[in-house]
Amino acid sequence: MTTSQKTALVTGANKGIGKETARRLGALGITVLIGARDAGRGGAAAEELRAEGADAHFVALDVTDELSVRAAARHIDAAFGRLDILVNNAAVAAAPQKPSEAPAATVRQVYETNVFGVIAVTNAMLPLLRHSGAARIVNMSSELGSLAHLADPDSPWSPYSSVLLPYCSSKSALNALTVLYAEELRAEGILVNAVSPGYCATDLNRRTGVRTPQEGAAVAVGLATVGADGPTGAFLSEDGPIPW
């Protein structure tokens, strides 16, 4: 590995949009670390990408487990010495329920992955990201996290968002995190953005999405590799800015 070789960590990269994001970063010649909580699934995804010519490695990472997060950071430090790109992609959803019927325990469980997991991973990886001259953090959000959409009863997402309080509000919180990290890290040249991949057919939605995971990965890859003049603290889809 040369010192100019970039390294990217994608959380939840064993399948879906995360795996496709890793695949595309790998195809660009970036070393990709497949963060996954299951060694079998993560190892298989890394092997699949290596067979295509990518420099891909499995990294054990359960974003809800602080010990696992810290161990992953230590491992990346020892093996690569730095991190150039972090894609906070891992997420879970809960079964549809009206807000009034969503148990707090369910909301807490979703936040453990979608919100607290992102904070734990970002904070653990920041020392490594600071060793990159031009680090990028991409948070995989959703239009379902847009407060503007949630407040609009005529929004095309309304039928979904009205029964997905845990997931939608976790992505609203993720958007807030994005802005706050972007502000703190702006002076260091670390660009932090939230993206929406669009409605993609993955296990998260029992493959009801209308886009492919490959299509969904494009916007994250673009911001993961954007130049120093790129945006920070933005919320973007392929079509441009999304209202907060």
Ligand X SMILES: NC(=O)c1ccc[n+]([C@@H]2O[C@H](COP(=O)([O-])OP(=O)(O)OC[C@H]3O[C@@H](n4cnc5c(N)ncnc54)[C@H](OP(=O)(O)O)[C@@H]3O)[C@@H](O)[C@H]2O)c1
Nearer to ligand X, 97 or 109 (CB): 109
Q: What is the dihedral of CA 218, 224, 228, 232, to 10 degrees?
A: 90
Other CB atoms within 10 A of residue 148 CB: 11
Nearer to ligand X, 5 or 205 (CB): 205
Residues in the chain: 244
Tokens describing residue 163: 């029964």
Contact between 19 and 213 (Cβ < 8 Å): yes
56 Cβ contact list (under 8 Å, min separation 6):
22, 26, 31, 32, 33, 34, 45, 46, 47, 49, 50
Nearer to ligand X, 18 or 26 (CB): 18
Closest CA to 142 of 102, 92, 104, 96: 92
CB of 4 to ligand X, least distance (A): 29
Kindly list the distances between the CA atom of residue 244 and the CA atoms of 106, 141, 150, 219, in Å, as whole numbers in the listed order: 24, 11, 10, 17
Cα 1 from Cα 230, distance rounded (Å):
27
Active-site residue flag, 171: yes
Which residues of the shown chain bind ligand X in the complex (CB under 6 A)? Answer: 11-12, 14-18, 37-38, 41, 61-64, 89-92, 113, 117, 140, 142, 196-197, 199-200, 202-205, 209, 213
Please give the DSSP secondary-structure letter assigned to residue 112.
I
Nearer to ligand X, 166 or 213 (CB): 213
CB of 164 to ligand X, least distance (A): 11
CB of 9 to ligand X, least distance (A): 11
CB of 77 to ligand X, least distance (A): 19
Active-site residue flag, 15: no
Catalytic residue among 160, 167, 181, 199: 167
Catalytic residue among 111, 160, 171, 181: 171
Chain-centre distance for alpha carbon 228? 20
Nearer to ligand X, 166 or 197 (CB): 197
CB of 153 to ligand X, least distance (A): 21
Q: What is the dihedral of CA 70, 71, 72, 78, to 10 degrees?
A: 110
- Please list the active-site residues: 167, 171
